[in-house]
Amino acid sequence: MSDQSLMFVRTVSKRDVQAVRDLLVETWHATYDVIYGADRVTQITDEWHSLAALEARLDVPMSEFLVADDGEAIGGMAFADTVDDGKTLMLRQLYVRPAFQGRGIGGMLLDEVEGCFPEAARIRLEVEEANAKAIAFYLAQGFARIGEAKGADGVVALIYERPIVWA
């Protein structure tokens, strides 16, 4: 199996969209079936992670859409864009395929996405409050909780942020 040392991070192209969707569907079911139920997760992934929705991200200005790839499989993905005139990098998605978790791929994606925005001073994200594994990852990466947001569906998302320190 692949490990982080064999992964490289690159920009998503149109030919990757189906593989990214497959990764998102697999990861969402592994993470959220116990929280929302499999039927609701399927409904969410069909809407949020449709091929059309993912392809639309290829053209979002001031954004970066990345995958971690070992030449055989996509092990992770990240999507981020900026707000506040580029000063705040919003990490919209960072997912690592369950079989690839714990190998440093999430950290690689995070580092690469930050490096794409040298003008950014901070990186911010929202995470489902029941997703303890993701929260533990972000805390280990130096993020601190700065608030929460309640979606129209009543789901609470925790907001985390960390400064971007340029060497």
Global pTM value: 0.92
Cα gap 27→5, rounded to integer Å? 22
What's the pLDDT score for residue 165? 82
pLDDT 10s digits, 86-115: 899 999 999 999 999 999 999 999 999 999
pLDDT of residue 167: 65
What is the per-residue pLDDT for 1? 43
Bridge partner residues of 65 (DSSP): 79
Render 74-113 in DSSP notation, one character per residue. EEEEEEEEEEGGGTEEEEEEEEE-GGGTTSSHHHHHHHHH
Residue 3 is predicted with a pLDDT of 47
Q: In sequence order, what are the beta bridge partners of 95?
A: 77
**Domains contained in the chain, CATH given:** 4-120 (3.40.630.30)
pLDDT given at position 2? 42
Q: What is the DSSP code string of 15-56?
A: GGHHHHHHHHHHHHHHHHHHHH-HHHHHHHHHHHT-HHHHHH
pLDDT of residue 121: 96
Token code pair at residue 131: 């997703």
Q: Which residues of the chain have pLDDT under 70?
A: 1-5, 152, 167
Please tell me the predicted confidence (pLDDT) of residue 154. 73
Residue 21 is predicted with a pLDDT of 97
